[in-house]
Chain A
C-alpha cells in the first residue's frame, strides 16, 4: 500500500511509547539501580554508588543461587507432570467426543483464575487442620489402616519441608496442565490427515503412530509449550507467595519470589534491582530461544 513515509511510524508511535515507558524504561532503571545501594524510605539523594559491588555480591550469594536451583527443581517437576499428563490426555481425547465444548470450557477455567485466587484455594485445601485433603486422607487411612504407612494420614502439607514443594507443584499442575493439553490437542488436530491415513494403510498401530508419526511431527509445538512453561515458572510468584511465602525456611523460595522479598520485605532496592537484572537476563535468553522456534513475523509473511 502506498502511503507517505512517516505514516507507519505514526501508527507505531502509541504502542512504541507504551512499550518504552512501561517495559524498556523500567528495565533500564533496574540496571541503573543495580549499581547503587539504596533502601526504601531513604531519599533518592542518599543512594551510594557501588560500581559492580552488587554484582560481585550476587555471584557469590548462596541464597540467590539456591533460589535459582529451587526454580529449576520446581520447573522440572511441573513441566514433567504437565507435559506427561497434558500430552497423554490430548492423545487419548484426540477423537471428537459428544459434549466436547462443555469439557473444553471446564478445562479452560483454571487458566483464567487469578494466581492469587489459585494460591488461596490450594492453601485452604491443603490446610493441615481444616483442609479437605487431609480430612479425606485421614478418613481413608482410618478405614484401611494399612494405608496409613503410605501417607494416608494428616500431613503438614505447607509447613513440612519435604511436602511444601509437592504442594506448590500440585497447584501448578492443576492450573497449567490444561494449557499443555489444549496446545497439543490443537497441534494434533492440525496434523495433515493424508499422512495419518498413509501410516495407517502401511499398517502402523496406535503405539507406532503415536511414537513415530504424531509426536515427531509435533516436536516444534512440544518445544514451544515447554519453553512457555519454563518462562512462566520464572515469571510467576503469586501462588507460591500465598501458599508458602517461600517457606518453610527457603524450600519453596523461587528466584522471582526472592526478588520480591528482597525488595518488599528487606527493602534493599539496589540489590533487588541486581536480582531483577539477573531474572531479566534469564527470561530474555528464553525469549530469544522461543523466538527462534516461533517467530510470527517470519511465519506468516512468508
Chain B
C-alpha cells in the first residue's frame, strides 16, 4: 500500500503545476467551443426579434431594439396556436404511451424468462433504425389501400373524426403518436431495462410474499423507483416527437400540422420569410433548450447509454 501510494502523490504534485499552464489553454478551448456552439442559436433568437428591414440589411447588427412583431404575426396572421397545441398533444401523447409500454416490456425482459424473449429483443434491435422517411412512404400506401383516411390536398390525411372545430385530436395525430412511439420504443425499452436491472430483486420478492400480485409489483414497486429512467426516456421521446418533420409533413392535415411543418412553410418559391421562420424556429427550440438546462446530465446519460456500458 505504502509503495503504490508514493508514486501517485508525486504524480499529483507535478500534475498540479502542469495544470496551471495547461488549464489556461483548456479554458480558452472551452470558451471558443462554447462560442461556436451558442452563436448560431443566438443569431436565430436575435433575428426573430428584428424587423424585416433589419433582417434584410447586409450589415449584421448585434445591438438593436427587439420587437415581437414576428411572433405577433405568426400567432395572429398565420394562426399558429392550433399547431402549437397539436405539437404539444402529439409530443406528450407519444411520451406517455412510450413510457407505459416500454416500462412494461422492460420489466418482462428484465425479470422474466420466457420463450421468444431473445427473438423479441433482437427484433427491436434490428428494426430500431428504420427511418421516418421509409415509414412515411409505406403509410401513405397502406392508408390508401385500406381505405383509411381521405386524401386531403393530395398528400394529407385525416380521419373524419374531428372533435369540433378545433381538431384537437384526429386520426392523423393518433397515427403520428403511434409512429413516434414505435420509433422510440426500442431505445426506451433498453434504457429502462438497464434501470430495472439495478433495482434489487429482493424488493419484489418481499412484496410477493406479502401478497402483492404482479401488476401491483410493477406499478407500486418498480415504476415509482424508475423516476430517473423515465425522465431520460421521456426527454428522448419528446425530443423526437416534438422535432420530427418528415412523417408530420406527410401525415398531418391542414388543421393538425405540427410546428416543424408550419415552420417549413415560410420557405416560399420567391424566397424565405426569415423573420416569421426564425420566430417559429425559436419557439420550436425553446422547450428542448429548457429541458437541457435542467437535465443535461440525464441527456448525456441517455446518449452515452447506447455506447458506454453503464
Contact = CB atoms under 8 A, between A and B. Distances in A.
A33 B104 contact: no
A135 B309 CA distance: 46
A19 B185 contact: yes
Main secondary structure of the interface of B (DSSP, over half): helix
Nearest to A47: B145
B127 A24 contact: yes
Contacts of B165: none
Interface stretch (A59-67, A72-80, A123-131, A141-149): A123-131
A237 to B, nearest CB: 6
B182 A19 contact: yes
Interface in B1-35: 4, 7-8, 11, 19, 23, 26-27, 29-30, 33-34
Given A183-B308, A259-B133, A23 B127 contact: yes
A168 interface: no
A179 B296 CA distance: 13
B124 interface: yes
Nearest to A28: B138
B89 interface: no
A114 B138 CA distance: 24
Given A15-B105, A18-B101, A125 B43 contact: yes
A195 interface: no
A21 interface: yes
B155 interface: yes
B40, B56, B183, most chain A CB atoms within 10 A: B40
Interface string B184-197: 01100110011001
Contact of B141 (A30, A237, A264): A30
A15 B134 contact: no
Interface size class of chain B, counting residues whose CB lies under 8 Å from the partner chain: 35 or more
A272 interface: yes
Contacts of A33: 137-138, 141
Given A40-B155, A106-B34, A284 B104 contact: no
Interface in A99-132: 101, 103-117, 120-125, 129-130, 132
B152 interface: no
Interface string A240-258: 0110000000000000100
A30 B145 CA distance: 12
Contact of B289 (A44, A112, A179): A112
Contacts of A116: 243, 245, 260, 263-264, 281, 284
Nearest to B307: A224
Contacts of A295: 125
Given A1-B208, A22-B185, A116-B263, 10 more contacts: A3-B214, A18-B182, A23-B127, A33-B137, A97-B27, A106-B37, A108-B292, A112-B292, A135-B60, A187-B307
27 contacts: A3-B214, A8-B114, A15-B102, A15-B185, A18-B97, A22-B182, A33-B141, A101-B297, A103-B34, A105-B292, A108-B300, A113-B243, A116-B243, A117-B285, A120-B44, A120-B263, A121-B41, A121-B44, A124-B278, A178-B37, A179-B303, A197-B4, A259-B134, A263-B133, A284-B127, A284-B129, A297-B118
Interface of B: 4, 7-8, 11, 19, 23, 26-27, 29-30, 33-34, 36-38, 40-41, 43-44, 47, 55-60, 97, 100-102, 104-105, 107-109, 111-112, 114, 116-118, 120-142, 144-145, 151, 154-155, 178-179, 181-183, 185-186, 189-190, 193-194, 197, 201, 204-205, 208, 214, 218, 239, 242-243, 245-246, 249-250, 260, 263-264, 267, 272, 274, 277-278, 281, 284-285, 288-289, 291-293, 296-297, 299-300, 303-304, 306-309
- Which A-B residue pairs are the 8 nearest by beta carbons? A22-B182, A114-B243, A15-B105, A11-B108, A26-B138, A112-B288, A235-B131, A29-B138
Interface of A: 1, 3, 5, 7-9, 11-12, 14-16, 18-19, 21-30, 32-33, 38, 40-41, 44, 89, 92-93, 95, 97, 101, 103-117, 120-125, 129-130, 132, 135, 174, 178-179, 182-183, 186-187, 190, 197, 200-201, 221, 224-225, 228, 231, 234-238, 241-242, 256, 259-260, 263-264, 269, 272-273, 276, 279-280, 283-284, 286-288, 290-291, 294-297, 299-301
